[in-house]
């Protein structure tokens, strides 16, 4: 069993952007229970992730990069992240059978009781996003925004959303609507998303190194 777990960790490192189609093409088992880790910090230096003390990639993960969905099975996992300047962060994740979770690392403003004119310190923080279980035949897109804005106006196709920080919103694509809707913020296209299969598509929006909005997207099999 441990050898199988190690195999999935290796696959997540060497195939960080693997999707459902490529898994089928490579005859890899589809992951039904597992998690991925995502770097949405906007920091110029790489983040080094470990799961239960085992390094996922000795070179680290640049901002906007992620692992594949690691099928380590149900259980309890200790996930840590290390950065050369910001220090480290950790998360204890409990995963039950049949569940998929995205573990996203971002920067959170540290609360301070002292009044100061200096900008608040930002610390590494984990955010755990469980996969949405599809309740119909329609594909869905879950948007989570981790910027410093309390509310972010986002347009998906012809539908407008006001997405609060750390409060994901889900867009379900009706069969009659466009398959690849444009996602816009303040009239500017951020990206498009091919919502073809009945899967859980996820879009994470964060503040990039240059202060502009950036994103990372992926999908989980049903």
pLDDT tens by residue, 53-63: 999 999 999 99
* The two structure tokens encoding residue 74: 């149900």
Tell me the domain boundaries of the chain: 1-131, 133-222
Nearest residue to 77 (alpha-carbon basis) of 60, 95, 58:
95
- Least confident segment among 9-13, 61-65, 120-124, 142-146: 9-13
What pTM was computed for the model?
Answer: 0.82
Please identify which residue in the block is written with the tokens 């951020």: 190
Q: What is the pLDDT of residues 89-110, one digit of tens each?
A: 999 999 999 888 999 999 998 8
* Higher-confidence position of 17 and 211: 211
**Where are the strands (E) in 110-209, listed by range?**
122-130, 140-145, 151-156, 159-164, 169-172, 182-185, 188-192, 200-207
* C-alpha span between 190 and 9 (Å, rounded): 31
* CATH code of the domain occupying 133-222: 2.60.40.2890
């Amino acid at each position: 069993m441990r050898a199988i777990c190690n195999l999935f960790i290796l696959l997540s490192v060497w195939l960080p952007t693997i999707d459902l189609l490529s898994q089928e093409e490579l005859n890899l088992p589809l992951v039904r229970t597992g998690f991925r880790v995502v770097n949405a910090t906007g920091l110029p230096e790489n983040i080094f992730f470990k799961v239960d003390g085992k390094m996922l990639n000795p070179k680290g993960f640049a901002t906007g990069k992620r692992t594949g969905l690691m099928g380590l099975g149900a259980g309890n996992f200790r996930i840590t992240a290390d950065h050369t300047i910001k220090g480290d962060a950790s998360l204890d994740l409990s995963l039950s059978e049949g569940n998929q979770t995205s573990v996203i690392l971002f920067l959170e403003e540290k609360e301070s009781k002292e009044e100061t004119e200096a900008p608040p310190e930002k610390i590494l923080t984990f955010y755990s996003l469980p996969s949405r279980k599809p309740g119909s035949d329609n594909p869905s897109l879950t948007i989570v925004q981790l910027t410093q804005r309390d509310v972010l106006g986002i347009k998906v196709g012809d539908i407008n959303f006001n997405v609060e920080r750390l409060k994901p919103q889900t867009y379900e694509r009706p069969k009659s609507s466009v398959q690849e809707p444009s996602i816009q913020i303040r009239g500017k296209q951020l990206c498009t998303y091919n919502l073809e299969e009945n899967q859980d598509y996820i879009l994470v929006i964060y503040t990039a190194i240059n202060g502009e909005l950036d994103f990372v997207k992926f999908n989980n099999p049903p």
